[in-house]
Amino acid sequence: MVVTLYPRRLSPPKQSFFLLGPRGTGKSTWVKSAFPGALRFDLLDEGLYQSLLADPGLFAGRLRVARPDAWIWVDEVQRLPALLNEVQRHIEDRRLKFVLSGSSARKLRRAGTNLLGGRALQKTMFPLLPSELGGDFDLAAVLAHGSLPVVWSSEERDETLRAYVQTYLKEEIQAEALARNLPGFARFLPVAALAHGQTVNVSSLARDCGVSRSTVDGYLGILEDTLLAFRLPAFESRLRVRERRHPKLYWVDPGLARAARKELGNVGAAERGSLLEGFVATCLRAHGEHDRLFDEISYWAPAEAIRTEVDFLLRRGKRFLAIEVKSSRRIPDDGLRGLRAIAGLSGLARRILVLDSKDPIRTEDGIDVLPLGDFFHSLADGSLWP
């Protein structure tokens, strides 16, 4: 099997940085390409891990022989957060530069570290984007199986996704002791996957999982810290309690959401909308980090209109861009409701409805209706903002 190496949009930083992302996003492949001469400490190597666990001073000894300004790569750094003390010392005293890659920041935070107090940047590796896949981008395949490189390159994508979820439970959750009640967390995963693209109702999740509200709060934190999911906050124009909304939950990859709820195979009509919306959410976050697409991202839902909302509201400075995503080929009856309701927002620069259609149009009241392909190209070339 020939594995295609797709160019990634992440640019190599010039100073030390954390590189976080779910397993299978291609972090190691990217670091090997971007920093071919880096001295690597692979903490998945059990022999090395046990040696450094027993005597962390061995790490400092190896660093002392590295030349000044050399790049050092610590892979799966969350397994030994104590190494960050030596990392900080060698950044300050010897000007060494570090790539600190991993699939979770949870153990780093729990260990009391401050992620080097600003001495290292924080970068994220996302699943493959349409601009990275280029001519290989296939929306149907992405919605069915996602775009994690480890899955995308597999000849048995369903089986790879199933194995991914089992490996996540075993190696991320059980081995790293992230959740005390592993059976409870295993019950939580498919329930959380069913909430993909929905507002988070902790009480409802707790009932469905048979655990307490506080436990579900902890489980959601684990999903976020291991970078499999994220919560999108509601936009608040005025800090009044009645305007506040629960955040929406999105999984970082459509395939992972489907595998977690054990519903692979053909994508059903009922799930297509949330899968597409979630994929767009991940693309926006990725371009937000890689290309500085926005300063903040949220969703918009006025308190007085329960069924009216806009999927994504981007803020750049004092300007806003409103985006609604629909999986249909034509404008649905309610497709423009939210975009029309938000028209009076101060600083609103553009309103966009994204459809699975062929030709772009503009409505009489100035809403741009963009086909998915045009929308993704606008993300890649920076022309989304007027």
pLDDT one-digit tens code per residue, 180-218:
677 888 889 999 999 999 999 899 999 988 888 998 998
Tell me the pLDDT of the chain averaged across its residues: 90
Are residues 136 and 109 both part of a single domain? no
Are residues 217 and 139 both part of a single domain? yes
pTM of the model: 0.92
CATH assignment of the domain containing 22:
3.40.50.300
Question: Where is the domain boundary, 76, 96, 123?
Answer: 123
Are residues 261 and 320 both part of a single domain? no
Are residues 217 and 147 both part of a single domain? yes
Q: Residue 150: inside a domain, yes or no? A: yes
Q: Residue 287: inside a domain, yes or no? A: no
- Give the pLDDT score at 1: 42
| pLDDT tens by residue, 88-115 | 999 988 899 999 999 887 777 665 455 6
Q: Is residue 248 over pLDDT 50?
A: yes
DSSP 122-166: EEEPPSPPHHHHGGG--HHHHHHH---HHHHT-S-HHHHHHHHHH
Q: Is residue 159 over pLDDT 60?
A: yes
Q: Residue 276: inside a domain, yes or no? A: no
Q: Residue 284: inside a domain, yes or no? A: no
Q: Is residue 240 over pLDDT 90?
A: no
- Give the pLDDT score at 332: 87
Are residues 254 and 188 both part of a single domain? yes
Question: Where is the domain boundary, 105, 123, 141?
Answer: 123
Instruction: Say what percent of the chain tops pLDDT 90.
Output: 70
Are residues 107 and 199 both part of a single domain? no
Rounded Cα distance, 43 and 65, in Å: 20
CATH assignment of the domain containing 337:
3.40.1350
Lowest-pLDDT range, 91-95, 221-225, 239-243, 356-360?
239-243
Are residues 147 and 61 both part of a single domain? no
Are residues 144 and 204 both part of a single domain? yes
The parent domain of residue 102 ranges over 17-123
In three-state secondary structure terms, 330 is coil
Q: How many CA atoms lie within 13 A of 342 on its CB side?
A: 33
Lowest-pLDDT range, 1-5, 70-74, 324-328?
1-5
| Structural domain total, the chain | 3
With beta carbons less than 8 A apart as the criterion, state whether 384 and 351 touch: no
Task: Compute φ and ψ for 194, nearest 5 degrees.
Answer: -70, -20
Lowest-pLDDT range, 53-57, 159-163, 304-308?
304-308
Residue indicated by tokens 């019950």: 187
Instruction: Say what percent of the chain tops pLDDT 70.
Output: 91
Q: Residue 145: inside a domain, yes or no? A: yes
Are residues 142 and 218 both part of a single domain? yes
Question: Where is the domain boundary, 123, 149, 176?
Answer: 123
Are residues 176 and 259 both part of a single domain? yes
- Give the pLDDT score at 272: 96
The tokens for 328 are 């249909």
- Give the pLDDT score at 133: 96
- Give the pLDDT score at 180: 67
Q: Residue 281: inside a domain, yes or no? A: no
Q: Residue 89: inside a domain, yes or no? A: yes
Average pLDDT over residues 144-167: 95
Q: Which residue has the higher pLDDT, 284 or 203?
A: 284
Q: Is residue 172 over pLDDT 80?
A: no
The tokens for 353 are 């409805």
Q: Residue 364: inside a domain, yes or no? A: yes
Are residues 114 and 158 both part of a single domain? no
- Give the pLDDT score at 176: 57
Are residues 113 and 134 both part of a single domain? no
The tokens for 261 are 């709820």
